[in-house]
Structure 1
Amino acid sequence: MAILIALLLAIPLFAVYLLVYDRQEQSNTARASIAAGWGGPQTIAGPVLILPYQAETTETVNEGGRQVVRTSMVWRELTLAPEVADLKTQLTPERRRRSIYEAVLFEALASGMVRFRLPSDLARFGITADRLAYDRAELRFGLKDARGLFGKPPEVTADGRQLALQPGKGTPATNGSGFFTWLDAGTIQSRPMTVSFRYSFRGNGWLALAPQAGDTRWQVTSAWPHPSFQGGFLPTAQKVSEKGFSATWRVGNLALGRSLVSSGDVVPESRPDVTDRYITAIPAGDYEARVDLISPVDLYSQVNRSVKYGFLFIGFTFVAFLMFDVIGGVRVATVEYLLVGAGLVLFFVLLLAFAEVIGFAAAYIVAAGAIIALLAAYSAAVLRSWRRGGYIAALLAALYALLYVLLSLEAYSLLIGSLLLFAALAGVMYLTRNLDWSGLRSQSPTD
């Protein structure tokens, strides 16, 4: 009967697991509402230099039953990625709260210098330099959520000349979101063109860079002490301390697997979603360098992991009651097993409720102390001895302490858990070694 009750308690344990998931979804929704209007997770890209040119195309059409070849001129875009990009970003984190929920937001100051050079082998791309419309060139900057731009307007200079910026026409790496500027790039025919820029934006969650240059160097510094480096490229150097972090990435176009030069048809203003050959050459998310500003403790994942150990608590406590039953002769009723199991399940609900308000560690102490006191007092009444109730309290205290260790040492949780089960099985075998389970030991050989 005790084993059956333990199995039935899987139903409320699963309900607690669903409750944790539901509260986590509510937390995500609340964090999204806190960050609404501030700026979402940000990806920056560029700048890239766009040089329009005219190309001759031919097509075969049917006129009056005859195949006619027509020749026409169309505008296309030559896209140049920088040969060198030296980028710096300063992240300023900020905590925002609403009720019991908290979101980590950031303000970023991005600055950098890039250098463009006209390739000497344009003929390989079917382009001649005289067809390039240098006076219609564009510089395009990508920012995934352009609503995050704030403060002083972005500053962009090309060879020392201040440029006026326009909204939109970002890079395909940011789905066209960003800003651009027109310029006369005629000087690039004789020498490299240097572009400097500086702009501020807001975001939350993470910041990523879609590298495009032949040699990209990106340095990120912040006062946030809990970064998580993600994406397809990890930092070549990093330093993390309680005062913040600094990280440096260096990525070349050979690692990106694409050329610095690409071409495609002009994308109509009314169809920014049109895919051209340049867009297909842009790296996906696996080719990004990314840093996440994470919270040091994800209380929902910790509560979720603790629920998975619920059977460990139920099993050990029920085994203790069974030992008092079969060895001590104290009969434990079915309802009493059920009430003790309900108390053990209630611990996880209390842990979740308090953790959202006072943090996981403090909530763990409060919930564990309340359940230990409750079950110790009830066990003393059921087992008709305060001493026996003290044994149950000591067992639960040891289990809760061990569970906290398991949650802290995730890499060794399986090892510690399996050793604990081995010790429990050995203890039960030792305590019941002299029990006559079948009643045959008391019979004589003749019987």
Structure 2
Amino acid sequence: MEALLKIFEQIKNSQFVRILLVSFLILMLQIPTAMMQGLVGDRQNLRQEAISSITTKWGAQQKIIGPQLVVPYTRQVQSGNSRRSEVKLGIFLPQTLDVSGVMDSETRYRGIFEVPVYKTDVTLRGRFQRPDLSNWGVRPEDILWDRAELNLQISDAHAIQNQAKLTWNQQQIAFAPGQGKGGSNPGIHASLKNQMTGNTFQFEVPLKLNGSERLSFAPFGEVTQVSLKSNWRDPSFQGLWLPNRRSVTDKGFEATWNIPSLGRNYAQQWNQDNPVRPETIQASVFGVDLISPVDNYRMASRSIQYNFLFLVLTFATFWLFEVIVQLRVHPLQYLLVGVAMSLFYLLQLALSEHLGFNIAYLIASAAVVVTISAYSVAVLRAKQRASTIGAMQVALYSYLYVVLANQDYSLLIGSIGLFGFLAVVMYLTRRVDWFNVNRSGTPPTLP
């Protein structure tokens, strides 16, 4: 019996067993970490529902594709022993397209959630050349000029705020709802009956649109120029093309794009026999996002990914005190420290919804650092040792903030930090004789 008790005492005091126990606690604490990730996802979904309730009534992300000229023509089709006439559509893009717009932006709220919305006055101007269908083998008498239309695709047409009219070679033509013959997407179209005489056609389309979060365009001209001005101070320019010129100040932004047709993946004209896929056009759009400088939920999700690393480093520091100093830290004490560190992410998430990310991060990290430092005074039985834990916690949360603010350098910063911590552990334990453990559980140092 005495031999069994001795073996049990050796196992109990084994640093290897202590490491296994601490590792098990770290793994067990990944359960609340996973629950925290789920909570972030739930809050994101709730925010998206709030955004949808605003944008459905006000106006969604606006994407303006067009205008395009649709010209029907007839073609003889062989069907068995007979021939029949079939109507086809030719799609033609403008030779020049100039877009100028002013966006009046603001922030709308649904509960604690916010979404950027805007009112915009956009004017599309340009010029069409008279369509040439001879490359498709179409005879002049087969072209149905009186059935031609001008189509303009608008992703959320219900948010149009004016009775838009097309000015076509100085003639005003009323728009009708729907995209017309050119497609089934939301938009407007105008009939060009008796308007297709001449070799060039000047057009102008003034639009007043409500929208939210994003405004984008398709580069339909042989040369497309877009000029936008807004009072929004934090724009994010999106798409295949960035502005040629831009200015962002505290009063808003101004941006200008100049895009040649050679940069896109479709021609100036096509027909139903060789159509351009809608996703090809969608891939060419460009514009601006009205984003908040910091996405609280994205930041929270990224910070939770570092919880495992923080637990390992903190528990390893407590374990080093066990090895170097003659004291024992109970597994429950490890667990309480780990729970406090895990609650940091919940506290940060809850506060950020009301105070913003930076202030929430400062309050949550300060609360955790003070709590763990004060608790460590009792656990490690010395204020100096507790101050070491507190300093390490300050370093960890400062490191995390730097990583979140500089995502491009997170791998470099993390690699250097881990290597530095390993070097410190190796230095502090360089004289420990791990093969000889006394009854207190503290390995003696080598001479």
The TM-score, its normalising length taken from structure 1, stands at 0.87
Counterpart position of 1:244: 252
CA contact (8 A) 1:53 1:78 kept: yes
CA contact (8 A) 2:151 2:182 kept: no
Distance across 2 between alignment mates of 1:429 and 1:137: 80
Cα drift, residue 438 of structure 1: 0.9
Question: 330, 336, 360: which is aligned to 1:333?
Answer: 330
Counterpart position of 2:102: 90
- Tell whether 2:182 aligns with 1:163: no
Q: How does 1:310-349 map to 2 (within 5 A)?
A: 310-349=307-346
- Tell whether 2:67 aligns with 1:56: no
Q: Which amino acid aligns with 1:91?
A: M
Counterpart position of 1:271: none
Distance across 2 between alignment mates of 1:433 and 1:80: 77
More off after superposition, 192-201 vs 7-16:
7-16
- Tell whether 2:125 aligns with 1:117: no
Counterpart position of 1:369: 366
CA contact (8 A) 1:343 1:375 kept: yes
Q: Which amino acid aligns with 1:166?
A: A
Q: How does 1:132-143 map to 2 (within 5 A)?
A: 132-143=143-154
| Structure 2 counterpart SS, 1:284 | helix
Counterpart position of 2:224: 216
Cα drift, residue 436 of structure 1: 2.1
CA contact (8 A) 1:142 1:171 kept: no
CA contact (8 A) 1:38 1:147 kept: no
| Structure 2 counterpart SS, 1:36 | helix
Counterpart position of 2:45: 25
Structure 1 residues 267-314: Cα deviation after superposition (integer angstroms, max 9, x where no partner): xxxxxxxxx754547833212123211111011111111111112321
Q: Which amino acid aligns with 1:159?
A: N
Residue correspondences, number: 421
| Structure 2 counterpart SS, 1:87 | strand
Q: How does 1:35-74 map to 2 (within 5 A)?
A: 35-60=55-80, 69-74=81-86
CA RMSD of aligned residues (A): 2.4
Aligned CA distance change for structure 1 residues 193 and 3 (closer, same or farther; 3 Å): same
- Tell whether 2:354 aligns with 1:390: no
Distance across 2 between alignment mates of 1:306 and 1:369: 16
Distance across 1 between alignment mates of 2:444 and 2:299: 51
| Structure 2 counterpart SS, 1:176 | coil
Counterpart position of 2:5: none
Distance across 2 between alignment mates of 1:171 and 1:55: 17
Aligned CA distance change for structure 1 residues 182 and 419 (closer, same or farther; 3 Å): same
- Tell whether 2:233 aligns with 1:225: yes
Aligned CA distance change for structure 1 residues 24 and 280 (closer, same or farther; 3 Å): closer
Identity rate of aligned residues, in percent? 35
- Tell whether 2:1 aligns with 1:4: no
More off after superposition, 206-215 vs 301-310:
206-215
Structure 1 residues 357-389: Cα deviation after superposition (integer angstroms, max 9, x where no partner): 111111111111211221122111122223332
Aligned CA distance change for structure 1 residues 196 and 442 (closer, same or farther; 3 Å): closer
Counterpart position of 1:301: 298
Counterpart position of 1:144: 155
Distance across 2 between alignment mates of 1:443 and 1:433: 9
CA contact (8 A) 2:40 2:301 kept: yes
Aligned CA distance change for structure 1 residues 279 and 442 (closer, same or farther; 3 Å): closer
Cα drift, residue 186 of structure 1: 4.8
Q: Which amino acid aligns with 1:3?
A: S
More off after superposition, 76-85 vs 366-375:
76-85
CA contact (8 A) 1:91 1:222 kept: yes
CA contact (8 A) 1:158 1:193 kept: yes
Distance across 1 between alignment mates of 2:411 and 2:167: 58
Question: 282, 290, 295: which is aligned to 1:285?
Answer: 282
Question: 76, 91, 101: which is aligned to 2:88?
Answer: 76
Structure 1 residues 90-111: Cα deviation after superposition (integer angstroms, max 9, x where no partner): 2221200121111111222110
Cα drift, residue 338 of structure 1: 0.8
| Structure 2 counterpart SS, 1:224 | coil
Cα drift, residue 172 of structure 1: 5.7
Question: 424, 429, 432: which is aligned to 2:426?
Answer: 429
- Tell whether 2:202 aligns with 1:177: no
Distance across 1 between alignment mates of 2:377 and 2:405: 32
Structure 1 residues 327-375: Cα deviation after superposition (integer angstroms, max 9, x where no partner): 2212111111111111111111111111111111111111112112211
Distance across 1 between alignment mates of 2:179 and 2:322: 77
Q: Which amino acid aligns with 2:325?
A: G
Distance across 2 between alignment mates of 1:103 and 1:140: 30
Where does structure 1 differ by over 4 angstroms across 4 or more consecutive aligned residues? 170-173, 276-279, 440-444
Distance across 1 between alignment mates of 2:182 and 2:119: 23
The TM-score, its normalising length taken from structure 2, stands at 0.87
Distance across 1 between alignment mates of 2:160 and 2:445: 89
Structure 1 residues 183-217: Cα deviation after superposition (integer angstroms, max 9, x where no partner): 235553x3311111101111112122122222222
Counterpart position of 2:17: none
Distance across 2 between alignment mates of 1:153 and 1:411: 47
Distance across 2 between alignment mates of 1:410 and 1:137: 52
| Structure 2 counterpart SS, 1:180 | strand
| Structure 1 counterpart SS, 2:174 | coil
Distance across 2 between alignment mates of 1:192 and 1:239: 35
| Structure 1 counterpart SS, 2:283 | helix
Aligned CA distance change for structure 1 residues 89 and 437 (closer, same or farther; 3 Å): same
- Tell whether 2:148 aligns with 1:128: no
| Structure 2 counterpart SS, 1:283 | helix
Aligned CA distance change for structure 1 residues 377 and 179 (closer, same or farther; 3 Å): same
Structure 1 residues 153-202: Cα deviation after superposition (integer angstroms, max 9, x where no partner): 113111111112211125868x52111111235553x3311111101111
